[in-house]
Amino acid sequence: LISGGGSALLEQLPDGISLVDLQQTTELLLGCGASINEMNAVRKHISRVKGGQLARAIFPARCISLMISDVIGDPPDVIASGPTSPDNTSFSDALQVIDKYELIKKIPDSVRQHLLTGFAGKIAENPQSNDPVFNRINHRILGSNTLALQAAASAAKHLGYNVTIVTSELQGEAREAAQKIAAIANDVQQLNQPIPKPACVLFGGETTVTLLGNGKGGRNQEFALAALLEMGESDFDYLIFSGGTDGTDGPTDAAGAFASPTIWQIAREKGIDPQDFLNRNDAYHFFEQTGGLVKTGPTGTNVMDVGMILVR
């Protein structure tokens, strides 16, 4: 069984690289804004199990990888850094990431030396898609964002809603994504598009947040707050929710939050300015005071985020 978090839980390091070295390298990559693909290009080349190397180690044994996906598009080579999947990156790609973010002098000496040795051809590259080790490997996706959305759609239909799933690949800045989702809510109300009322419009994926303040929150709470501001004084019966399927959103005890006319009205009655809270990335405290937090507790499964628009 392979799922999100596998990159951290499953590891065997090359000789000379310590766990502290790996942790320092990972922290540097996270801090510089490297994408998940860029991080994986590096991590796969300072490991003995990532990037298909576990498949190489167990060959010729037959392996069925049962996967729970926490990444957009469900690519097996990205989930948990692809221990049983081909690696289409190289030591050269890993060094390009290090150079791009000017980390060559910041990463531990052991990591730098290992990457340079591999680049010189003195360490074998990870197995590619044409490697015979993958003839004995099968991958099956057991859980994904798409499957979660389909389950939500089934539940909403039983409640009497007209339902559509608009995307399972919502990405980008949370505030900008919220503007697009709010526009769909207005289209449902004014045009009965993309579906007529009572409507449940579902979406999923994983957005990001650029920290500008020192408040408390997470990407889903920030999304909901930005959506609330976009909806403004709208007084029709709507609700916009976004939450993490693992039950945790950022460093908080909430899975996410929801926006609605009631939340807007409570904020006005209490004299709370939602724009001020958004400017400070403080969505948690805004929704804590207005009653919009959604707390599920840890679910034990992560298939990214799911959200919905309800219009009645």
CATH fold of 2-143, please? Answer: Rossmann fold (3.40.50)
Q: What does the alpha-carbon distance between residue 214 and residue 299 come to, in Å, rounded to a whole number?
A: 27
- Going by pLDDT thresholds of 50, 70 and 90, the confidence category of residue 33 is confident
The listed CATH number (3.40.50.720, 3.40.640.10, 3.40.1480.10, 2.120.10.30) that belongs to domain 145-311: 3.40.1480.10
Q: Give yes or no for residue 32 having a pLDDT over 90.
A: no
Amino acid at 295: K
Q: Give yes or no for residue 211 having a pLDDT over 90.
A: no
What would the mean pLDDT of 225-250 be, rounded to a whole number?
A: 97
Answer for the pair 219, 248: CB distance below 8 angstroms, yes or no: no
Please give the biggest Cα pair distance in the chain. Answer: 68
Residue with tokens 């000496």: 109
Phi first, then psi, for residue 225 (nearest 5°) are -70, -40
Q: What does the alpha-carbon distance between residue 263 and residue 172 come to, in Å, rounded to a whole number?
A: 25
List, for residues 262-285, the tens digit of each pLDDT value. Answer: 999 999 999 999 999 999 999 999
Residue 163 is inside which H or E element, if any? strand 162-170
Structure tokens at 130: 């044409």
Q: Give yes or no for residue 113 having a pLDDT over 90.
A: yes
Structure tokens at 263: 């939340």
Structure tokens at 58: 């167990």
List, for residues 149-199, the tens digit of each pLDDT value. Answer: 999 999 999 999 999 999 999 999 999 999 999 999 999 999 999 999 999
Q: Give yes or no for residue 4 having a pLDDT over 90.
A: no
| DSSP secondary structure string for all residues of 37-89 | HHHHHHHTTS-SSTTTHHHHHHTTS-EEEEEE--STT--TTTGGG-TTS----
Q: Where in the chain is the domain with CATH 3.40.1480.10?
A: 145-311
Of 44, 32, 124, give the one whose Cα is nearest residue 84. Answer: 44
What does pTM read for this prediction?
A: 0.86
Q: Where in the chain is the domain with CATH 3.40.50.10180?
A: 2-143
Q: What does the alpha-carbon distance between residue 192 and residue 151 come to, in Å, rounded to a whole number?
A: 23
